[in-house]
Structure 1
Amino acid sequence: MSTQVKEHVAESLLKRAHSPDTASTILREKVKQRPLLLRPTSPDPTANPRSKRQYERQQKANKARKSNKPKPLSAKQKRALCIYEIPKEKRKYAVYAPLHRMWCDYMREILDLKDGKRNFVDANIAGPVLVSADYHGALVEVVRSRCHSRIGRKGIVVKDTKFTFEIVTESDDLKILPKEHSIFRFEVPFEAVPEGAVQPKPLVFEIHGSQFENRAPDRANKKFRPHFNPDL
C-alpha cells in the first residue's frame, strides 16, 4: 500500500497565487535548491608565532587605553572633596554684585525691556519667561513662608538647586532657602534714562518657590500652566 506524499506547505501557498507548474518551479529554485551561504571561520590569532605576537600587542594596547581613562567620581567622593561648595573666602556680597548687574541686563533682554521699547509686561507673556529664566545672580527676598524665620532673608542667588536657593547676603553670609512653601520677590530695574528724564520704577515680581522645584537646566523647556495655588 503506497503512502500519500504530503504536499509542502510553501507549495500549497504558492499555488494560491501561481499556476501549479510555476509554483513547483519557484519551490524548487527558491526554497529547496537555494544555496546556503556560510561565512568562513576566523583564523585562530595564536595559530602561528607572528600572529600571536600581534594579537598580544593589540590586547596590551587596548588594556592600556582602558586603564588610562579616569573613572568618574561617585557622589560620596564629590561630597568629600566639596566640589559644589562655595569657599568661605568667596562668600562676599561684593564678589557677586557684578553678577547681579549682568542678571538684570539679562532679564531686561528676555522681557523685551531694552532700548526703551516699553515699560510694562503682560502676565501671559512674562509668565513663561519667568518660569524658564535663570536665577543665578537674582537679588531675591523671602516675603512669605510657612517658616517665619525665613521671612525677610535677602541676598544674591549663587546656586539654584532643585529644592533650594543659596544666597549671599549683604553681611557676607551664605544662607540656604528652601523653595517649598515660600514666596520670593525680586526687582528688575529699567535702564538708566538721560539726565532730566523720569526714571521708571523697577518692575517687581513674586514667584512661588513650590513651582520652581526643578533644576535650572530642566526649567528651560518647562511650559507655563497657570493654576490655583494653596495658601501658605
Structure 2
Amino acid sequence: MASSPAPKAHIAQTLLSRAHSPDSATQQFTERVKQKPLFLRATSPSASDNRSRRRLERLRKKEYFIRHQKPRPLSAREKRKSGLYDLPKEECKYAIFKGLHDLWVGYMQDVLDLKSNHAVYITPNSHGSKLVSADYHGAEVEVVRSRCAGRVGVKGIVVRDTKFTFVVVTQRDEMKTVPKEHTVFRFIVPLPKRADSAESQQKESAEDCKPLTFELHGSQFENKPVDRANKKFKWRNIDYV
C-alpha cells in the first residue's frame, strides 16, 4: 500500500528558512504568520457603509438647518382657524378708527406732494402710479356706483383691504364688506393748511381750498396692498357698470 505524500511546506516558512536558522524560522513563522489573527471583514468601508454615512450627514445638516431657520409662516387655513383676521365687534367703532383716518390723510398728502412749498398739479401721468400703489387702510371711501344698488351710498373707513373686498366701518359702528368688482369708490383728500399770513389767506379763493376728490374703480384694483407696491399698472379701458 502506497504511503501518503508529505505535506507541502508553507511558502512563508520556506522563505524564512532561507534567511534564518531553523529554530528562528520556525518561531517567526508560528508567531507572525500562523498565530496572526485573520480579519474576515475588509478594513475599507463598503458601498452600503458609505451610503449610510452620507445619509447620516444629510440628516444632521437638515436638523441643524431646521433648528436655526425662522418659524414657518402660517397658511391661509391656519390663519382663518386661529382668528388672526377677526376683528372684535366691541372694538370696531367709527370713533376709534377716526384717528387712523387722520393718519392716512397725512400719508396721502405726502404721497401727492401736497405739503411742498411749490405749486403741485395732480395729473394721471404724474400721480396715477402713486395713487394705485398707495395703501388704503384708514381711507374713508364711499360707494358711488355698483351693480348691486343696495351698496350705493355705503360710506366708512377702510379697516381691511383684501384682494377682492374692502371692509369698512360706518358712522353707525357697522362693519360692511364691499366687493371691489363692478364697484366705484370715491375718497377725498383735503388740502393741508398753510401757515401763511391772514392777507394771503383772504386772497385765496374758495375754489382753491376745495379738497381733492378721486374715484377708484374696484375692478381694476383687485390686488393686495403688498402686491400693489411693486406692480406696474397699465392703462386699460374701463367697463362702466
TM-score by length of 2: 0.66
Shift of 1:76: 3.2
Alpha carbons 2:113, 2:120 under 8 Å: kept: no
CA 1:81–1:205: 2 relative to 1, 3 Å: same
Q: Give the aligned partner of residue 98 of structure 2.
A: 97
- Let me know the Cα RMSD of the aligned residues: 3.4
Q: Give the aligned partner of residue 174 of structure 1.
A: 175
Alpha carbons 1:131, 1:222 under 8 Å: kept: no
Q: Give the aligned partner of residue 141 of structure 1.
A: 142
Per-residue CA deviation, residues 99-147 of structure 1 (Å, 9 max, x unaligned), is 1111111111111110443354112112111111110110000000111
Q: Give the aligned partner of residue 52 of structure 1.
A: none
Q: Give the aligned partner of residue 76 of structure 1.
A: 77
Gaps of 5+ in 2: 1-43, 50-55
Alpha carbons 2:185, 2:218 under 8 Å: kept: yes
For the residue of structure 1 that corresponds to 2:234, the secondary structure is coil
Amino acid at match of 1:158: V
Alpha carbons 1:167, 1:175 under 8 Å: kept: yes
Greater Rg over alpha carbons, structure: 2
CA distance in 1, matches of 2:239, 2:192: 36
Q: Give the aligned partner of residue 219 of structure 1.
A: 228
For the residue of structure 2 that corresponds to 1:114, the secondary structure is coil
Gaps of 5+ in 1: 1-39, 45-54
CA distance in 2, matches of 1:71, 1:128: 34
CA 1:92–1:224: 2 relative to 1, 3 Å: same
Which of 213, 217, 231 is the aligned partner of 1:208? 217
Alpha carbons 1:127, 1:224 under 8 Å: kept: no
Amino acid at match of 2:86: E
1:1-232 to 2 correspondences below 5 Å: 73-118=74-119, 120-194=121-195, 196=198, 197=201, 198=204, 200-232=209-241
CA 1:147–1:111: 2 relative to 1, 3 Å: same
Amino acid at match of 1:222: K
Amino acid at match of 2:233: F
Shift of 1:77: 3.5
CA 1:190–1:183: 2 relative to 1, 3 Å: same
CA 1:98–1:117: 2 relative to 1, 3 Å: farther
Shift of 1:72: 5.3
CA distance in 1, matches of 2:114, 2:191: 7
CA distance in 2, matches of 1:174, 1:116: 39
CA distance in 1, matches of 2:210, 2:77: 48
Shift of 1:220: 0.7
CA distance in 2, matches of 1:229, 1:72: 37
Alpha carbons 1:142, 1:183 under 8 Å: kept: yes
CA distance in 1, matches of 2:238, 2:74: 40
- Percent of aligned pairs with the same residue? 51
Q: Give the aligned partner of residue 12 of structure 2.
A: none
Per-residue CA deviation, residues 176-229 of structure 1 (Å, 9 max, x unaligned), is 010000000000001123474246110000010011101101001122322211
Aligned pairs, number: 184
Alpha carbons 1:167, 1:176 under 8 Å: kept: yes
Shift of 1:98: 1.1
For the residue of structure 2 that corresponds to 1:83, the secondary structure is coil
